[in-house]
Amino acid sequence: MDPDKIYKEAEASMESAVEATRHEAAKIRTGRANVALLDGIDVESYGAKSPISHVANITVPEPRMIVIQPYDKSVIKTIEAAINKSDIGLNPNNDGTVIRLTLPELNEERRRELVKVVKKIGEEGRVSLRNHRHKANDYVKKGEKDGGIPGDEAKRLLDEIQEMTEEHNKAIDQLLTDKEEEIMNF
């Protein structure tokens, strides 16, 4: 395999691991309203399951409130039922035209639990980065063994892959630090 291709594939994989970690961390409820809380909740409408964002307009008018306004008012009950069945822990308030989700104030104990969850998400992201690094290193070593990559080129490429892994680890660390700060201080 071409050394440039190995590097580019490893970089793309590591960037997707950081993005996945960012996405998972965004789902953590911090007391601040975020439409990402509704990701993964599907609504049965018109004979098919669709994400809430496909059947309703979602806005955040206040720091602790999400407003869901269905495009078709006939699906408001199914949206409400889907939210109730989900594990986001919020009670929808349906006034017939819109659904309001009010996020409660977090207590100290709950904040500490959420920080633990964020750290777990971060560790999963780091494990993913290490797996991508390991896979790229295996390609480099195989290429060196097969004679497709010269020894000095392989050494340089392994060093670059390690540097890239460290950079992406720093990105995950920063993301987690920011999320922990948001949880503890909002």
pLDDT in tens, 107-132: 888 788 888 889 999 999 999 999 99
Rounded to the nearest 5 percent, the helix, strand and coil shares of the chain are: 65, 15, 20
Phi, psi of 50 (to 5 degrees): -135, 150
Residue 88 has pLDDT above 80, yes or no: no
Domains of the chain, start order: 3-27+107-185 (1.10.132.20), 35-102 (3.30.1360.40)
pLDDT in tens, 38-73: 887 888 888 888 888 889 999 999 888 899 999 988
Lowest mean pLDDT among 20-29, 123-132, 136-145: 20-29
| Residue-level pLDDT at 112 | 86
Other Cβ atoms closer than 10 A to 17: 22
